[in-house]
A and B are shown apart, each in its own frame.
Chain A
């Protein structure tokens, strides 16, 4: 668990990798209420020009959010969080699914035990989240 005193600007958060399978997309669709077919139907995803089924952008954002809250040790620690969805996470129909790699860097110390963090998420070598910034309250 990170501490505010040790979170100097330039501090790198430990990188993490997350697997996203078709099953995870089904579960996220149910939990979020987003039943857009491109997140579970390969035929339709391909018919609209996608290479395969893609993950919900909001699931990718949530994975990077979890990356931050696990670093902070508190799901309520993220007070601001914004991302741009730069590329889709393509999820093949196999047991591995997609691998999403998340890294982060502390950019600024703020008041109230908070730090600003830039995060990056990549899948298959492509940045899937850009301009991903958060304000995180640390212990």
Chain B
């Protein structure tokens, strides 16, 4: 079953809230080699004007992990995950994600396009706080290799 083109334009239900923790930010920063105290030490982050420790710029992918999996594994969407590679990724931030944020992600399928024997799937995910404050948009293109 190929990726279902009827899904273009569909917006999925919002995700469950994701609580951003200082411990997780620090763990992620370590994993990507970012040694900044602003990712670990609340006082250091507050000293330069942030409300709490801040996450490095790709951290939104962690916030969106469960939501992204729910979307790409939607049975009606028809993605063959074994044939998927990550093609492109982009983030646009209104402000850095920080510890204490409680974030909700909501994904829309922007396009499904055949490219030779492959199909590209582009999704746009908006991430807001539970209070409705806009934080970030993540755009992702997955490429499904043809059989």
Contacts and interface: CB of A to CB of B under 8 A. Distances in A.
A and B associate in one complex: yes
A62 B58 contact: yes
A29 to B, nearest CB: 9
Contacts of A105: none
Contact of B58 (A27, A65, A84): A65
Given A75-B38, A76-B54, A78-B57, A66 B33 contact: yes
Q: How many B residues are at the interface, by size bracket?
A: 35 or more
A30 B30 CA distance: 11
B34 A69 contact: yes
Q: How many A residues are at the interface, by size bracket?
A: 20 to 34
Interface stretch (A6-14, A31-39, A91-99, A119-127): A31-39
B58 to A, nearest CB: 4
A82 B89 contact: yes
B72 to A, nearest CB: 12
B125 to A, nearest CB: 14
A81 B90 CA distance: 6
A53 to B, nearest CB: 15
Contacts of A66: 32-34, 56
B31 interface: yes
A80 B93 contact: yes
Interface string A34-68: 10000000000000100000000111011101101
A71 interface: no
B88 A84 contact: yes
A28 interface: yes
B87 to A, nearest CB: 6
Nearest to A82: B90
B7 interface: no
B89 A57 contact: yes
B22 to A, nearest CB: 13
Nearest to A134: B57
Interface string B94-118: 0110000000000000000000000
Nearest to B141: A84
Nearest to B57: A78
Nearest to A49: B145
B48 interface: yes
A78 B95 CA distance: 9
9 shortest interchain CB distances as A-B pairs: A82-B90, A76-B96, A31-B31, A62-B32, A78-B57, A57-B86, A62-B58, A65-B57, A33-B65
Interface of A: 18, 24, 27-28, 30-34, 48, 57-59, 61-63, 65-66, 68-70, 74-76, 78-85, 131, 134
Interface of B: 24, 27-34, 36, 38-39, 48, 50, 54-58, 61-62, 65-66, 82, 85-93, 95-96, 139
